[in-house]
Amino acid sequence: MRRTSVLLAGTAATAAVLLAAGCAAPGTGLNVRALPSSTGSASARPCVGFDPARSGPLPTASGTPMNTPQAEALAQALDPKGDRAFADVYGTMAVDSPPGRVLLCVTDLARGREMAAAAKKEHPGIDLGRLDLELCRYSQRTLDAVIGRMSKATGTEFAGFPLYSWSPNSDMSGIVVTTTRQGANSKALLQQLTALSGGTAVTVAAGAATVMS
């Protein structure tokens, strides 16, 4: 069965994505795609995240799309669930976007290279030449903490609207809160949620209540 991401959350529309040209990190084979700041150094901006437009035909089993084995092996080796040493910088990961490659988004490129090197040491057979390293604004751990704090403060209803779900944006640029269509169009709800976020970008989107079977 195809896997598009590791710990990749967020199903609503994401913030605008900024791209930059790729370059190989010396001695690693990594394709590092960072955004230059006004001073010429890398600055943390939203990564691409999983992009269906970059995904092409994939191998199938009984008609079900599957990950390419090389990308799957690389993603498994980089999976931060097995190594919490990089949880402070890990943002998200997209597998086979494009096919045969893995996109790893981190908040610090140097630590991202260290994460890749540690995975290679533990799993010598992986091909780091298939890894694209990009910067993201927030780590998964940071956004999880924001979501936990905010959802505890709001409960399941806030400012007169039900809140259905909370998740990081797929590019790790902020969080997405789903509610009714009316709530998604409410400027007051967005303003109040943003005030609770402590500066983290908030997107309010229309969603549906979870139905328990």
Residues 131, 80 contacting (CB under 8 angstroms): no
Q: What is the pTM of this model?
A: 0.73
What does the pLDDT profile of the chain (213 residues) look like in tens digits? 444 443 333 333 222 222 223 344 444 556 665 433 333 334 444 576 655 555 554 555 455 556 789 999 999 999 876 667 899 999 999 898 788 999 999 999 999 999 999 999 999 999 999 999 999 999 999 999 999 999 999 999 999 999 999 999 989 999 999 999 999 999 999 999 999 999 999 999 999 988 766
Pairing of strands 157-158, 202-206: unpaired
Structural domains present in the chain? 5-135 (no CATH), 140-206 (3.30.300)
How far is Cα 205 from Cα 179, in angstroms, rounded to an integer? 6
As a dihedral over the C-alpha atoms of residue 185, residue 187, residue 192, residue 196, rounded to 10 degrees, the angle is 70
3-state class (DSSP) for residue 11: coil
